């Protein structure tokens, strides 16, 4: 067996980190593996000697329509590369690489298994107006059913693909995201960074519409509590818009855009809570990472993942209090603000969440999850 992993880049993000974990696991267990990229950005550690190939070297800000038009050409190139490398199992992560992977299998007589990873909740991920959303939904509906295997990272996103995109249940599998607990446990907190006299909240995620950082900033403004601090780690195309909002609401001394950091754990370990405003997810790694750093969680109950991670019994249009933290309905500034206040005023609950979270996180331990993942691929034969 020879694996090829296709992903756009290894820039900051949960899927990219997961890919780096899988590649390291394969190398450690003597599985022949190659990485194929479409962009030169690599921000995660990779195994020494890992073969890396470039299908193209595109710019990250490339026009969406051009990206779509290039898919058949890239699929043709990818099919030729797989044949040249004698790849037996082609694994792709994220939507456009998935399209390229599946189309490539139809453009060559060379036979290989296709495994596509869907790490989002497509019905909501592509619910926004515009060409990109419509195109992606149509392509998922046409192509995913033609893959040999689709791996979702939550029960919720697997159900979405089956119910709304026609993916046959027989090719659908679920493997949750892995967390490198050993690495996280070794990282020392950066105790001097936060003002211990403040209530320090941290969030991680791309600065895009779906992550809804706007709601978090508006919640801080609404509460008008000078003790609150919000640190946003991530990069993305909403950087300027968020900076303008922070100035407009006059919360520049409370909300800070921190950019990307490949080692956010040193900050997570020193904060008071992890806060997350996303409108939709597949299975949010950042919640797992925060729990691994013993942080209580305040998150939207977005589809999908948070309810699975936090073992929510039933949803409601109010605070949903669990052993690990609080969930609130998506896009609800008032309830997000109410959730922040609940944590501020309930110190005993904060401590209980930390204790429960460090036990819960054990089932997502990296080696346990990665064995599940690679076993699925090996057993395809």
Element at 5 (helix H, strand E): strand 2-7
From the list 55, 56, 108, 94, the residue with the least C-alpha distance to 78 is 55
| CATH number of the domain where residue 318 is located | 3.40.50.2000
Q: Where are the alpha helices (DSSP H) in the chain?
A: 14-28, 64-69, 71-85, 95-106, 122-125, 131-143, 155-165, 181-186, 213-223, 239-248, 265-268, 285-292, 306-309, 333-345, 347-360, 366-378
Same domain assignment for residues 170 and 274 = no
Across 271-300, average pLDDT: 94
Same domain assignment for residues 38 and 122 = yes
Same domain assignment for residues 39 and 118 = yes
Same domain assignment for residues 94 and 106 = yes
Same domain assignment for residues 63 and 147 = yes
* Residue 331 zone, left/alpha/beta (φ > 0; ψ -120 to 50; rest): left
DSSP 8-class letter at 237: T
Same domain assignment for residues 196 and 257 = yes
pLDDT, tens only, 294-339: 999 999 999 889 999 999 999 999 999 999 999 999 999 999 999 9
Task: Give percent above pLDDT 90 in the chain.
Answer: 87
From the list 251, 247, 211, the residue with the least C-alpha distance to 229 is 251
Cα 253 to Cα 321: distance, rounded to the nearest angstrom: 30
| Number of structural domains in the chain | 2
Same domain assignment for residues 196 and 171 = no
Same domain assignment for residues 336 and 369 = no
Same domain assignment for residues 146 and 188 = no
- pLDDT of 12 above 80: no
From the list 203, 204, 122, 210, the residue with the least C-alpha distance to 164 is 122
Same domain assignment for residues 139 and 150 = yes
pLDDT, tens only, 121-180: 899 888 888 898 999 999 999 999 999 999 999 999 999 999 999 999 999 999 998 998
Same domain assignment for residues 87 and 220 = no
Same domain assignment for residues 360 and 370 = no
**Model confidence, pTM:** 0.82
Is-contact 7 92, C-beta < 8 A?
yes
Q: How many CB atoms lie within 10 A of CB 224?
A: 10
Enclosing domain of residue 27: 2-178+365-378
pLDDT, tens only, 55-79: 999 988 888 899 999 999 999 999 9
């Amino acid at each position: 067996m020879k694996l090829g992993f296709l992903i756009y880049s290894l820039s900051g993000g949960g899927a990219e980190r997961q890919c780096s974990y899988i590649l390291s696991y394969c190398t450690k267990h003597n599985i022949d593996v190659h990485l194929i990229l479409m962009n030169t950005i690599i921000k995660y550690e990779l195994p020494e000697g890992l073969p890396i190939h470039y299908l193209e070297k595109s710019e990250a800000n490339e026009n969406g329509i051009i990206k779509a038009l290039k898919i058949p050409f890239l699929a043709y190139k990818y099919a030729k590369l797989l044949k040249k490398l004698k790849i037996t199992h082609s694994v792709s992560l994220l939507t456009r690489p998935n399209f390229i992977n599946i189309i490539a299998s139809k453009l060559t007589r060379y036979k290989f298994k296709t495994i596509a990873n869907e790490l989002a909740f497509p019905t909501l991920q592509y619910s926004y107006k515009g060409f990109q959303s419509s195109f992606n939904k149509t392509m998922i509906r046409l192509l995913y059913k033609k893959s040999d295997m689709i791996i979702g990272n939550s029960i919720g996103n697997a159900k979405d693909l089956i119910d709304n995109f026609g993916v046959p249940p027989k090719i659908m599998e679920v493997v949750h995201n892995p967390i490198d607990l050993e690495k996280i446990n070794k990282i020392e907190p950066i105790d001097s960074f936060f003002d211990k006299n403040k209530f320090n909240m941290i969030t991680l995620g791309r600065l895009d519409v779906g992550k809804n950082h706007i709601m978090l900033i508006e919640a801080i403004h609404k509460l008008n509590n000078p003790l609150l601090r919000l640190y946003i780690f991530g990069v993305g195309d909403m950087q300027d818009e968020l900076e303008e909002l922070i100035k407009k609401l006059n919360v520049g001394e409370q909300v800070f855009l921190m950019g990307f950091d490949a080692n956010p754990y040193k900050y997570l370990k020193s904060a008071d809570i992890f806060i997350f405003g996303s409108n939709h997810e597949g299975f949010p790694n950042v919640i797992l990472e925060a729990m691994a750093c013993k942080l209580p969680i305040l998150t939207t109950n977005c589809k999908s993942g948070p309810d699975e991670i936090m073992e929510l019994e039933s949803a409601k249009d109010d605070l949903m209090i669990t052993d690990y933290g609080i969930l609130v309905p998506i896009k609800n500034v008032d309830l997000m603000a109410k959730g922040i206040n609940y944590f501020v005023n309930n110190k005993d609950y904060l401590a209980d969440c930390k204790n429960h979270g460090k036990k819960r996180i054990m089932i997502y331990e990296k080696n346990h999850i990665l064995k599940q993942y690679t076993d699925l691929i090996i057993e395809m034969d």
